[in-house]
Structure 1
Amino acid sequence: MTAAALPFWSITELSEAIRRREVSPVTLTEAMLTRISELDAGLKSYQLVTPEHARAQAEAAEAELDRGQWRGPLHGVPIALKDLCFTKDIPTGGGMPIHAAQKPAFDATVTVRLAQAGAVLLGKLKMTEGAFSAHHPSIEAPRNPWAAERWTGSSSSGSGAATAAGLCFASLGSDTGGSIRFPSGACGLTGIKPTWGRVSRYGVMPLSDSLDHVGPMARNALDAGIVLGAIAGKDQNDPTSLPDPVPDYLTLGKAGSVKGLRIAYDPAYIMEGSDPAIVAALDAALAVLKDLGADVRVVPMPDWTDVLEGWTTYCAVETAYAHLATYPARASEYGPELKGLIDLGYATTGVEIARLQIARDVFKARLKAFFAEVDLMLAPVLTGPVPTLEQWANERSADVLTNVLKFTAPFDMAGNPTITLPGGFDANGVPIGLQLVGTHLSEALLVQAGAAFQRVTDWHLRHPKIG
């Protein structure tokens, strides 16, 4: 790797160079801050850059190296956070102008854990309003670095744009209906939506508490595993966080393969309503996995229609609850998309919520039985190519949103982990994302399979021509 390509180095490469003292955290951080200042005026991925904070963390990381102390693979590595992760005394707005000046009195657990791992925080990344489907009308949305006229994905739009453009080496996103997977797929990244509860949500502004997942977005599966390993685990401040031990995702990913893994593929689920380019990318990925020794099986996906159709309503009710302090009291300051979602929540009856909860429990049980017979499932991220900004703005109706969520929302409703991988490019040169889905707490297997796939493909090595 050349110095010119440094912004696109993987964390696995970079961390070794830092550990061997070939790259200085201080010099690296200054270079990244300069790159942001030069390029982000066009990309608009950062809500806030934190140069003083970044320099202080970089200097501390370098001083520790001078003393022979190395915290691990994130030591001295510049990263960024979606702007719903609390940062003490640093504004955290959640994509909402009414919270733009909010300076939390404490750090989110994920913020603390990244700092303990030695990471350097470059800043806070833009996101859609309240982590729903659209940016507030007063906030200019980030641009997809592959094609400025294309959707960047929501709601972790800034995370997708900044990481893909080499303005950070990894970022955190959140996923309630697909918001780690959409920007990862649209921007050619690898993202992990972990098992619900695998990562603490303490200090993370909610959209829908029982659907929200926090996870990494990075260049490849090993990098995503490194970040996940740093932030995962039980947190006494989040009673819903899972107590299970956190594996060494990096070591397992490096050593693992897909040989003998039972990987399910449901043509009926994948092909109905999907663009031929998406199906072709999935077929190509299947061929790679077969060549690597995976046992690819055609297995019907459990009926997903009820949880997909009910996702918006379920999310709406929990979003209304999350916004009690400011809605309806400050409803006039909300954008139309988030306002409409909350209004739907208020209009939903208890009987309807009971029906959706039962459907959700049934789907969870059926999916658990499904994964008793297979190890992983391959699916797309989107049904078609990444839409243009105009298409996304004009077609974002309830029906269209449901179609967009087809391959993502069911696994938020069930809480299952997924890994999104770059799987090719469409006719417009925009990335195509695919995902592997696993049973609860199978993140190590997902990293292992993703790393094996990426050892023989190069989609994850390509980056947009920027800077």
Structure 2
Amino acid sequence: MSDDLAFAGLVEIGGRIAARELSPTELTRGLLERIAERDGALHGYETVMAKSAVAEAEAATREIAAGRRRGPLHGVPLAVKDLLWTHDAPTAAGMAIHRGFRAAEDATVVARLRAAGAVILGKLAMTEGAYAGYHPDMTVPVNPWDAEAWPGTSSSGSGVATAAGLCYGSIGSDTGGSIRFPSAANGLTGIKPTWGRVSRHGAFELGATLDTLGPMCRSAEDAAAMLGAIVGADPKDPTALRAPAPDCLAGIGGGVRGLRIGVAPAFVALGCDADAVAAVDGARDALSGLGAEIVEIAFPDASQVLRDWFTLCAVEAASFHADSYPSRRSDYGSILATFLDMAGGASAVDLHRIGVRRLEFRGRVEAAFDGIDLLLLPVQGLSGPTMAGVLEAAESERGIENLLRYSCPFNMTGQPTITLPAGATAAGRPVGVQLVGRPLDEALLCRAGHAFQTATDWHRRRPAPAS
């Protein structure tokens, strides 16, 4: 398979399949060969589902030939993070104790992708239990832009495989930044939907009231197509929102003229390096040039909500792992185990206070959106960090805050965001920005992201092939 074909857009590929220019079967076989040739150095995949992928591709080929096309994903090879159940492949969630676990059914997200006709190439590698570190028995994915660079946490396999042209799009999860971080680190477009927009049925939990599932692609248009297939109410997940599912692809060409986009200079100045600031400034100028009105706002103090996120997430994770932790502590890696131990220090009174502060912060952020449609922010304060740099930052409270300051607050509020490639470091590592919307505003985020990508070409850059 040529690089040009491997790096083509998902929507473009779907259109070429519909026009009979490409066969899903040949396309899938080509990508499986590419995975076999290149993923040995990148480790994006935990499990390659070659047999079922070819069978799905052959079925798509027959259906499309018979005039029964299901939509833009029909016949397109995608991949999913290995915390989503698949009835025909194991789901480990980055954990040694779950290797070999096979669910009786697909996660709702997987079932909906398959119902849309997508071909599932495999399960993508991730951190242990979707937290910050990898189990020592698991292989760490390698950023295709730079082997020394951080691949982003948790959904790192999704970021690596998509950026390297080993699938046309992927599913990640985000509890504190794990769609946004690997999207930024690997030069991708990722959507963290509104909490509850996408069913969590069949997904291993990290923090139940914080977890979101969403697409990671090479463009806003592609992410909109994937998101449209997976949103909506689900009787298997009563927390899934019953709001009408948006067609994010339908109005994606509407542009940003007349939109009021907020910027928060004082918030950005708290802990961003020069590359992160430059990416935000460049995105602001591009959006202004497209007709958006830029409005300076004051963003609420997020320092307490960051500390609260750690306590709340640790307690929610400990609840999910109660059947195996601490009874099987020796089977856990040290980073996840230390995090779960944090839960023991939280009292019922502490959790009550966190809940109240969370509601108050949500209200302050809602007020900050008065008079703006979207908010432009960095994804993180550290641009293109190395793995060693992230570990060093994690050793200090300020370093952790600089990494998480712009991500965790929107898991606490439940708001949707879109991450967009918007710059590069001197070493050539990608730098991303995020647009934040009001709850349920995913269609507007996709529209603004697409407009930005019509005026810039950061999302079209490709990593050099591994030598």
Do they superpose with TM above 0.5? yes
Per-residue deviation at 1:396? 2.3
Matched residues, number: 465
Q: 2:365 is matched with which residue? A: 367
State the SS of the aligned residue for 1:373.
coil
Name the residue aligned to 2:354.
Answer: 356
Q: How does 1:160-239 map to 2 (within 5 A)?
A: 160-239=159-238
Deviation digits for residues 40-87 of structure 1 (CA, Å, limit 9, x no counterpart): 000011000000010010011001012111111000000000000000
Match of 2:333 among 304, 328, 335: 335
Q: Which residue of 1 aligns with 2:342?
A: 344
2:63 equivalent in structure 1 = 64
* Partner of residue 136, structure 2: 137
**301, 310, 314: which one pairs with 1:316?**
314
Change (3 A) 1:165 1:119: same
1:288 paired with 2:286, answer: yes
Cα shift readout 1:326-369 (whole Å, capped 9, x = no counterpart):
11110111011110111001221111111111110001111222
Offset, 1:390 = 1.8
Letter in 2 for 1:329: S
Query: CA offsets, 1:224-252, max 9 Å, x none?
Result: 00000000000011111011111221121
- Per the alignment, residue 12 of structure 1 pairs with 11
1:49-198 aligned at under 5 Å gives the runs 49-198=48-197
* TM-score where L is the length of structure 1: 0.98
Structure 1 SS opposite 2:369:
helix
Q: Alpha-carbon deviations, 1:238-280, whole Å to 9, x = none?
A: 1110111112211211x21111111100100012221112111
Aligned equivalents of 2:401, 2:268: Cα separation in 1:
15
Measured against aligned partners, the alpha-carbon deviations of 1:5-28 in whole angstroms (never above 9, x if no partner) come to 111000121111000000000000
Q: Secondary structure at the match of 2:449?
A: helix
State the distance in 1 between where 2:67 and 2:394 align: 53
**Secondary structure at 1:274's aligned position in 2?**
coil
Paired residue type of 1:355: R
Query: Which residue of 2 is the match for residue 427 of structure 1?
Result: 426
Tell me the TM-score normalised to structure 2 length: 0.98
Q: Which runs of 5+ in 1 are unaligned?
A: none
1:398/1:329 Cα in 2 relative to 1: closer, same or farther (>3 Å)?
Answer: farther
Identity of aligned residues (%): 50
Any idea what the Cα deviations from partners look like across 1:132-164, whole Å, max 9, x if unmatched?
001111112000000011100011000000000
Q: Secondary structure at the match of 1:251?
A: coil
Partner SS state of residue 343, structure 1? helix
Distance 2:336 2:404 in 1: 17
**For residues 172 and 398 of structure 1, do their structure 2 counterparts lie closer, same or farther at Cα, with a shift above 3 Å needed?**
farther
Q: Which whole-Å deviations, capped at 9, do the CAs of 1:385-422 have from their partners, x for residues lacking one? A: 22112222344236133321100000000000000000
Tell me how far apart the structure 1 counterparts of residues 81 and 107 of structure 2 sit (CA, whole Å): 12
Q: Which segment is superposed worse, 457-466 or 270-279? A: 270-279
Tell me: CA distance 1:395–1:277, structure 2 relative to 1, closer, same or farther (3 Å): closer
Question: Hey, what does 1:415 align to over in structure 2?
Answer: 414
Please report the RMSD computed on the Cα atoms of aligned residues, expressed in angstroms: 1.1
1:437-452 alignment, distance < 5 Å: 437-452=436-451
Q: How many Å separate the matches in 2 of 1:89 and 1:346?
A: 37
In structure 2, the residue matched to 1:46 is 45
Deviation of residue 371 (structure 1)? 2.2
